[in-house]
Amino acid sequence: MHNMSESKIDSFSRDARHSMVVFRNYNSLPATIHSFKKLRSLIVDDGPSSMNADLPNLIANLSCLRTLKLSRCGIEEVPSNIGKLIHLRHVDLSWNKIRELPEKMCELYNMLTLDVSDCFLKQLPNNIRKLVKLRHLSVANYRVDSWFLKMRGVEGLSSLRELDEFPVSGSDKESNIGDLRNLNHLQGSIRIRWLRDVKDPDEVKKAELKRKKHLTRLDLWFESRKDMRIIRDDEILEALEPPPNLESLMICDYQGIIPVFPSCINKLRVVVLRNWGKIENLPPLGKLPSLEELSVGGMECVGRVGREFLGLGVDSEISIGEMTSSSSNTIIAFPKLKSLTFWDMGKWEEWEGGEGGRWRRGNEDKTNICISTIMPSLRSLTISGCPKLKALPDYVLQSTTLEELRIGGNEDKTNIFISSIMPSLRSLEITYCPKLKALPDYVLPSTTHFRRTI
């Protein structure tokens, strides 16, 4: 109900059992709302500033509520009488100023959904484990980078299907990553933060992510609140043992050695690598047989992208069978990759072309030459904030599938790194390259859509 007069609201039957009232951008709630004793669903989005004062009475009068959504209402405190709404199934208190939840909420034994994302909670209620039917818990805070929420008690929520974020602490009194052990019904995605504060790889193994077969997306943030590194990032990553059906993986702020992606994650379709401060070479992602989207950025120390990135290094082991075609001497790197993005890699100068697609396998006889097919499905390439990159490799320039090329964020670049005609290019977009004065004639075939933004 938007801008509906109080008289119209008053006209609704107060005896209706399945009514829902929705308020958006209201200056104040009409007083008559308190008389809707049998109201099942109340949704207030971007509510009035008076909500803090109104909330206790509102809860007291609407005892039949099943769904309560009070998002962006400026709520600072949740009244304890919310525990009397024994029929509540779904509660959304997101985007408020709430710093704690009353223990009485843990008496809402029928609750299925609790959303307190983008609030300022410091910890969950001590008896949160009593909500044994809870299936969806949202706690992430994307507006405060340093936010931390103590998650003690979540280990008892064995019915959970969705948990959007789990902040890790090195203390058993706050949030121990091993508390994820029994949450084997989790599905969809989860972000695990502050991984660098883990004290023991054995505790990481206790999370048993490999048993969470319904998880398809995993975001790993190697941050630290305490700046006290006890174990290396690569030890943590190795101990995590990813879910078997993982399709999307993000790894942020990683500072360990180059990881080896296990063959058990051969269903990965999306990979994002972000802000790996000390890594000089990229991992051999070309070995991932199902990878379709790859985004790499914030790699401050990477100066060269070579054959190791493709999984075709001299000493590289081809451990994933799907990389090899029917011919033992033909290797396909990135067989299904469609979209590739590089961004904010200020030291990156060289992108090696793979010697025309020929290389020698391991330390075998020098006559054993392997033919490599690289990125045969690539459709889109984006390069932004990589001012020192000199040229694209042959396997990109000669691609018969690449249709879209985006170049941007190169403030001082005076020439473009395209040295020949790209046969299938249909769209070229150049943004924020103010010193780039002209393009070679061969860059723009007649079928190409070109757009430039200064």
CA atoms within a 13 Å half-sphere pointing along the CA-CB vector of 221: 16
Res 18: pLDDT: 54
Res 410: pLDDT: 75
Res 252: pLDDT: 96
Res 256: pLDDT: 87
CB within 8 Å of 33: residues ≥ 6 apart = 9, 21, 39, 42, 58
How far from chain centre, in Å, is Cα 199? 24
Sheet strand arrangement including 330-333: 330-333, 369-374, 358-360
Cα–Cα dist 190/184, whole Å: 13
Hey, how many other C-beta atoms are within 10 angstroms of the C-beta on 2?
8
Res 174: pLDDT: 76
How far from chain centre, in Å, is Cα 324? 30
Quote the radius of gyration of the chain (alpha carbons, Å): 27
Q: Which two tokens stand for residue 47?
A: 């509510």
Mean pLDDT by 10 residues, the chain (454 residues): 48 57 73 86 84 89 94 94 96 96 97 96 94 97 82 94 92 82 96 91 92 96 78 90 95 90 86 93 93 97 93 51 50 95 96 59 49 90 93 91 90 70 86 76 67 68
Res 1: pLDDT: 40
Instruction: Sort 42 into a burial class: Cβ within 10 Å, 0-12 / 13-18 / 19+.
Output: buried
Q: Is 321 left (phi over 0), alpha (psi -120 to 50) or beta?
A: alpha
Q: Are 209 and 240 in contact (CB under 8 A)?
A: yes
Q: Terminal CA-to-CA distance of the chain, rounded, Å?
A: 44
For CA atoms 13, 16, 21, 27, give the dihedral sign: positive
Res 69: pLDDT: 95
Res 417: pLDDT: 72
Cα–Cα dist 112/92, whole Å: 11
For CA atoms 82, 85, 86, 88, give the dihedral sign: negative
From 151, 152, 105, 160, select the one nearest 132 (Cα to Cα): 160
How far from chain centre, in Å, is Cα 242? 15
H/E/C letters for each residue in the chain?
CCCCCHHHHHCCCCCCCCCEEEEECCCCCCHHHHHCCCCCEEEEECCCCCHHHHHHHHHHHCCCCCEEEEECCCCCCCCHHHHHCCCCCEEECCCCCCCCCCHHHHHCCCCCEEECCCCCCCECCCCHHHCCCCCEEECCCCCCCCCCCECCCHHHCCCCCEECEEECCCCCCCCCHHHHCCCCCCCEEEEEECHHHCCCHHHHHCCCHHHCCCEEEEEEECCCCCCCCCCCHHHHHHHHCCCCCCCEEEEECCCCCCCCCCHHHCCCCEEEEECCCCCCCCCCHHHCCCCCEEEEECCCCCCEECHHHHCCCCCCCCCCHHHECCCCCEEEECCCCCEEEEECCCCCCEECCCHHHEEECCCCCCCCEEEEEECCCCCEEEEECCCCCCCCCHHHHCCCCCCEEEEECCCCCCCCCCCCCCCCCCEEEEECCCCCCCCCHHHCCCCCEEEEEC
Cα diameter, the chain: 89
If you search the block for the tokens 């020929």, which residue do you land on?
Answer: 358
Q: Are 122 and 150 in contact (CB under 8 A)?
A: yes
